[in-house]
Structure 1
Amino acid sequence: MKFFFFRPYQSLVRLLICVIILSTFAAADSEPDSKLPAKSAILQTMTRANAYFMKAWPDPGQVIVTNKTRPSNIWTRAVYYEGLMALYGVDPKKPYYDYAVEWGEKHNWGLRSGMKTRNADDQCCGQTYIDLFEIDKKPERIRDIKASIDTMLTSPKVDDWNWIDALQMAMPVYAKLGVLYNDPAYFEKMYQLYAYSKKKHGGNGLYNPTDHLWWRDADFVPPYKEPNGEDCYWSRGNGWVIAALVRVLAIMPKNAPHRAEYERTFLDMIAALRPLQRPDGYWNVSLHDATNFGGKELTGTALFVYGMAWGVNQGLLDRKVYTPIMAKAWNAMATESVHPTGFLGYVQGTGKEPKDGQPVTYTSKPDFEDYGLGCLLLAGSELYRMK
């Protein structure tokens, strides 16, 4: 009887051992996805991608030629310099600073359409101009951007930002000037422009307080629907809003007006984005419709990681909950988007909806290579700051 029971027991033990071994291997295979790499590895990825770009554009004042010729102080390049200044903040190499200064000097610290422009895209370069002014207070560095914003300050018009990308392009400029000159008028005008976008444009505003996501502009508010019947929430557009809120909250003093509303919207958006992450770590270009040009895409993904990392660093988000999400996204971008040369794949070209800039693949080259790198550098630099 003793021998009779021992054989099945022995088989059961063997089976349990096999299950444990297989489970261990499976856990080991998935473990890298949920753990951030070492800081040195994060920095290495950013450095490689940035080196590729600086080599490709040795003259920061060189015009950009796509379907037409544009000066290099447009929004796409300005977003890159936002990322470069973030990289400089964690790895202060003089060539980075010099490259940014030369960019400003080549444009005489001006805006694409002059000081009278009200276009947020034109004003985006002012974020870096002000950063560089704070390092070396040469008045010419902020002359034009301050004049442009001051013109808007004295105007009753508040409906300029009729597309959500504008929030990232211009809001941080107002916040920076408000702090620099200790003048709450900049904060108040920024809020008026922001609130009109959020609550008025498109009829009832571009922000859906139910889904906690933004329609890119009036073209996409209901009754517009995606192929699957859902609302159209463009990934990078919502990424721009996340970046705008992060940068404004990071700049403004704790007692600044409307800060609580910005923070609440940021937290609601992050919570809405959390369950929308793809199994491979990315977010789809259409956040509520994976069938409409679904696939890997870097820019929206990087901006969401930027927001989450900042939220964790500020104690606004639970580190245990969001670190695996960010790690999965960063590891995917670092291993699947960043080429050995530093070129970035899976970057959607310029546009305003899922179909634009397609196809988005590992080898596809977007019409502008700069803003995708800016998004990656913002995300990586904030991850690098995590304890």
Structure 2
Amino acid sequence: MKRRLFFVVTLLAGWNLLSGQSLPDRKETLKTLVKVNDCFMKKYADYTQPSYVGKFRPSNIWTRGVYYEGLMALHTIYPRSDYYDYAYDWADFHKWGLRDGNTTRNADDHCCGQTYIELYKICPGPVKIKNIKAAMDMLVNTPQVDDWTWIDAIQMGMPVLAQLGKVTGEQKYYDKMWQMYACSRNKIGKGLFNEKEGLWWRDANFVPPYKEPNGKNCYWSRGNGWVYTALVRVLNEIPMDEVHRADYKADFLAMSKALKACQRTDGFWNVSLHDESNYGGKETSGTTLFIYGMAWGVRNGLLDKKEYMPVIVKAWNAVVKEAVRSNGSLGYVQGSGKEPKDSQPVTYKSVPDFEDYGVGCFLLAGTEVYKLD
């Protein structure tokens, strides 16, 4: 009996070794997250400095907003005071405001509000959410619902409405959120979500008859990652009995299935999900957003652990091994754009035009991986 048990244990251990289907120790995951984040904070120690890519942009634009989403996630598992200060001082420098003021309908301007609200949750103070609330109230009190014409906007803006609904207890934010999401999903470009394939066209310009070089539909990796992340962040905020929770959940599950099917054998995803010949190769930002969503789904019981853990493990181990450089910076991050051809080539050594959102995506993913059992 003992001999048989030893054989089984040895066999399983050997299988795990060969398959590589195991996550690193939590301490190692945290060490990697700290390394990547510290590299960024050191390089961009002056959070007041604008970005310059063709023109100057203030540091509360969407790219930096996504970074701070990741930092606040890291802070939940490793609450270092300098992390909090880096976020708080950035928000305070911008007077808890939006790039183009409280009347902007541009979701890219709203993204910073996600961090303002998270900081408000830690230590409530009306000034922290005054401006983002005013901007969302403007959306709520005007009839337009077609502002999110590109799917990136769903991640930049939709979680803000979910967060405000939770902190205020007011249904109006949930209602407007659904109206705007449904418009992007079902009406813009005759519907940017392809229910049949479980993936999203980036905007109306990519809806058929537009095709990839191989004749398939064009599904941009990071764009789909933005929607996937938005669904996670919304499901994490809204009540269990919210009227449209089942709709968001259904889309999350459909996307999970579709994304699982197009993972590369090395663990990454291509920039073009259905055409590996169109600027194929490893890409970190989309990959980490998919890790984030799947890890959250497994941890919250929406995704089957046996089915999705191998996908998560393969992806996370690949990113840590192949994309994290020795100094903590990230390789294989596609720069800003809207389709596979933008900001190419994407290589281990290439530096994207904006480094912040790639780090934010990585921190979101790693934090959820850290929380897995």
Is the shorter-chain TM-score for this pair beyond 0.5, marking a shared fold?
yes
Q: Given the alignment of the two structures, is residue 260 of structure 1 paired with residue 243 of structure 2, yes or no? A: no
Per the alignment, residue 167 of structure 1 pairs with 154
Per the alignment, residue 296 of structure 1 pairs with 282
Q: Deviations over 1:309-353 (max 9, x none)?
A: 000011111111111111110011101101010010000000000
> Equivalences for 1:126-275 in 2 at 5 Å?
126-202=113-189, 204-275=190-261
1:251 is paired with a residue whose SS is coil
Structure 2 counterpart of 1:307, from 293, 317, 327: 293
Tell me how far apart the structure 2 counterparts of residues 221 and 378 of structure 1 sit (CA, whole Å). 29
Per the alignment, residue 356 of structure 2 pairs with 370
Seen in structure 2, the aligned counterparts of structure 1 residues 28 and 266 have a Cα distance that, compared at 3 Å, is closer
Per the alignment, residue 8 of structure 2 pairs with none
Seen in structure 2, the aligned counterparts of structure 1 residues 223 and 26 have a Cα distance that, compared at 3 Å, is farther
Q: Deviations over 1:100-158 (max 9, x none)?
A: 00110111111000011111000000000000011111211111100000011000110
Structure 2 counterpart of 1:325, from 311, 316, 334: 311
Q: Which amino acid aligns with 1:196?
A: C
Identity value in percent? 57
Tell me how far apart the structure 1 counterparts of residues 67 and 274 of structure 2 sit (CA, whole Å). 28
1:253 is paired with a residue whose SS is coil
Seen in structure 2, the aligned counterparts of structure 1 residues 86 and 223 have a Cα distance that, compared at 3 Å, is same
> 2:39, 2:327 within 8 Å by CA — same for their partners in 1?
yes
Shift of 1:62: 1.2
Structure 1 counterpart of 2:333, from 344, 347, 360: 347
Per the alignment, residue 111 of structure 2 pairs with 124
Per the alignment, residue 6 of structure 2 pairs with none
Q: Which amino acid aligns with 1:50?
A: N
> 1:109, 1:144 within 8 Å by CA — same for their partners in 2?
yes
Structure 2 counterpart of 1:63, from 50, 72, 93: 50
Task: Structure 2: give runs of 5+ residues left out of the alignment.
Answer: 1-10
Q: Which amino acid aligns with 1:31?
A: S
Per the alignment, residue 19 of structure 2 pairs with 31
Tell me how far apart the structure 1 counterparts of residues 208 and 372 of structure 2 sit (CA, whole Å). 39
Shift of 1:300: 0.6
Per the alignment, residue 59 of structure 2 pairs with 72
> 1:239, 1:303 within 8 Å by CA — same for their partners in 2?
yes
Q: Which amino acid aligns with 2:240?
A: K
Task: Structure 1: give runs of 5+ residues left out of the alignment.
Answer: 1-22
1:116 is paired with a residue whose SS is coil
Tell me how far apart the structure 1 counterparts of residues 191 and 16 of structure 2 sit (CA, whole Å). 47
Q: Which amino acid aligns with 2:113?
A: G
Tell me how far apart the structure 2 counterparts of residues 25 and 198 of structure 1 sit (CA, whole Å). 45
2:74 is paired with a residue whose SS is helix
Shift of 1:191: 0.4
Per the alignment, residue 50 of structure 1 pairs with 37
> Equivalences for 1:11-30 in 2 at 5 Å?
27=15, 30=18
2:239 is paired with a residue whose SS is coil
Tell me how far apart the structure 2 counterparts of residues 25 and 260 of structure 1 sit (CA, whole Å). 40
Seen in structure 2, the aligned counterparts of structure 1 residues 136 and 280 have a Cα distance that, compared at 3 Å, is same
Number of matched pairs: 363
Q: Which amino acid aligns with 1:346?
A: Y
Tell me how far apart the structure 2 counterparts of residues 273 and 163 of structure 1 sit (CA, whole Å). 19
Tell me how far apart the structure 1 counterparts of residues 269 and 363 of structure 2 sit (CA, whole Å). 18
Q: Which amino acid aligns with 1:302?
A: T
Q: Given the alignment of the two structures, is residue 113 of structure 1 paired with residue 70 of structure 2, yes or no? A: no
Shift of 1:232: 0.1
Shift of 1:38: 0.8
Shift of 1:31: 3.0
> 1:280, 1:328 within 8 Å by CA — same for their partners in 2?
yes
Shift of 1:25: 11
Q: Taking structure 2 as the reference length, what is the TM-score of the superposition?
A: 0.95
Tell me how far apart the structure 1 counterparts of residues 306 and 15 of structure 2 sit (CA, whole Å). 18
> 2:16, 2:22 within 8 Å by CA — same for their partners in 1?
no
2:236 is paired with a residue whose SS is helix
1:329 is paired with a residue whose SS is helix
Seen in structure 2, the aligned counterparts of structure 1 residues 62 and 110 have a Cα distance that, compared at 3 Å, is same
Shift of 1:26: 8.7
Tell me how far apart the structure 1 counterparts of residues 292 and 161 of structure 2 sit (CA, whole Å). 21
Shift of 1:355: 0.3
2:182 is paired with a residue whose SS is helix
